[in-house]
C-alpha cells in the first residue's frame, strides 16, 4: 500500500492541486454528536433505509411527509406503533409505502431507545465509539438495527457526522489497487484488513477516516 502522501498526491493531481483538494475535503464543520437528539438519529436512520435501492431525490422531496407521518420521529411514539398504525402508514401517499421499511422505523426506534437507556442518549453512544474500530460500529448497526447493514449503515453514520469510511465502488477499487483486498469486502477478515489500512493511513496523516475515505474515492 502506498503512503497517504502518495495517495493524496494522486488525488490532488486529479482535482486541481493540493489546495483545491483541501477545499473539497473541508466542506462541513465538525459535528457535536452528543448534542444530536434521539429523534434526529432515528430520522436519519429511516431516511437512509428508505433511500436504499430507491431514488434519493424522491425520498428527499417527500421527507416532510415522513416527518409528519412518524410524529417527527419521536422515539416513544415510533416504538409503540401498532397494527392500526401500520395499516394507515402503508396507505399514506405522503410517504414511500414500503411495508418492511415502514416496520423498520419501529424496530430502529427500539434500537435507539436501548442506546439512550444504556448511554444516556444515542449521541453519547456514537460519540464515544472509537473510530479505530469503525467496522465494529457497523457490526452493531447490522446486528441490533433494522436494515442498517452494508452501505446503508455507512451512509447513515456519514450523514450524522460520525468519523468513518464508506466502502463505495471507487473506495473499494482503490483498496484493491493497493493490494489491501482483492474484492468488495464482506467477510470479517476483509473488513479487518480495510480497518487496519485506514488506521495506518490515519496514523501517517493525522487525518480523520472521513477525509481519508474521500481522498481514496476521488483518486480514481
- 140 CB-contact burial (10 Å; exposed 0-12 / middle 13-18 / buried 19+): middle
pLDDT at residue 28 in the model: 83
- How far, in Å, CA of 92 to CA of 88, rounded? 6
Is the per-residue pLDDT at 209 higher than 90? yes
How far from 139 is each of 86, 92, 135, 143, 191, CA to CA, in Å?
Answer: 28, 33, 6, 6, 10
Is the per-residue pLDDT at 36 higher than 90? yes
Return the sign of the alpha-carbon dihedral for residues 30, 33, 39, 44: positive
- Other CB atoms within 10 A of residue 147 CB: 22
Average pLDDT over residues 26-40: 94
Q: pTM to 2 decimals? A: 0.96
pLDDT at residue 167 in the model: 98
Residue linked to cell 402508514? 89
pLDDT in tens, 186-208: 999 999 999 999 999 999 999 99
Residue linked to cell 410517504? 95
**CA-derived radius of gyration, the chain:** 19
Report all structural domains of the chain as residue ranges with CATH numbers, in order of start: 4-30+165-217 (no CATH), 33-130 (1.10.340.30)
Average pLDDT over residues 146-151: 97
CA nearest neighbour of 5 among 187, 203, 188: 203
Rounded to the nearest integer, the mean pLDDT of the chain is 97
pLDDT exceeding 90 applies to what percent of the chain? 98
Average pLDDT over residues 41-66: 97
- How far, in Å, CA of 194 to CA of 143, rounded? 20
Contacts of 154 (CB under 8 A, 6+ apart): 138, 164, 165, 166, 167
What are the E-state strand segments in 37-103? none
pLDDT exceeding 70 applies to what percent of the chain? 100
pLDDT at residue 27 in the model: 86
Q: Go through 38-71 and write b for each residue having 16 or more CB atoms within 10 A of its CB, e for each that does not.
A: bbbbbbbbbbbbbbbeeeeeebeebbeebbebbe
Amino acid at each position: 500500500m502506498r503512503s497517504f502522501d502518495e495517495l493524496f498526491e494522486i488525488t490532488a493531481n486529479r482535482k486541481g492541486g493540493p489546495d483545491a483538494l483541501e477545499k473539497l475535503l473541508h466542506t462541513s464543520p465538525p459535528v457535536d454528536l452528543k448534542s444530536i437528539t434521539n429523534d434526529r438519529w432515528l430520522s436519519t436512520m429511516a431516511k437512509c433505509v428508505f433511500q436504499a435501492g430507491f431514488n434519493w431525490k424522491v425520498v428527499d422531496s417527500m421527507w416532510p411527509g415522513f416527518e409528519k407521518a412518524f410524529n417527527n420521529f419521536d422515539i416513544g411514539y415510533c416504538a409503540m406503533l401498532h397494527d392500526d398504525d401500520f395499516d394507515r402508514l402503508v396507505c399514506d401517499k405522503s410517504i414511500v409505502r414500503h411495508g418492511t421499511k415502514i416496520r423498520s422505523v419501529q424496530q430502529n426506534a427500539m434500537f435507539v431507545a436501548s442506546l439512550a437507556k444504556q448511554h444516556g442518549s444515542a449521541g453519547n453512544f456514537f460519540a464515544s465509539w472509537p473510530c479505530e474500530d469503525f467496522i465494529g460500529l457497523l457490526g452493531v448497526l447490522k446486528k441490533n438495527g433494522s436494515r442498517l447493514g452494508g452501505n446503508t449503515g455507512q451512509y447513515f453514520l456519514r450523514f450524522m457526522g460520525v468519523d468513518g469510511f464508506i466502502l463505495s465502488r471507487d473506495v473499494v477499487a482503490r483498496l484493491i489497487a493497493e493490494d489491501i483486498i482483492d474484492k468488495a469486502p464482506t467477510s470479517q477478515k476483509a473488513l479487518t484488513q480495510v480497518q487496519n489500512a485506514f488506521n495506518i493511513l490515519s496514523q501517517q496523516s493525522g487525518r480523520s477516516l472521513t477525509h481519508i475515505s474521500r481522498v481514496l474515492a476521488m483518486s480514481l
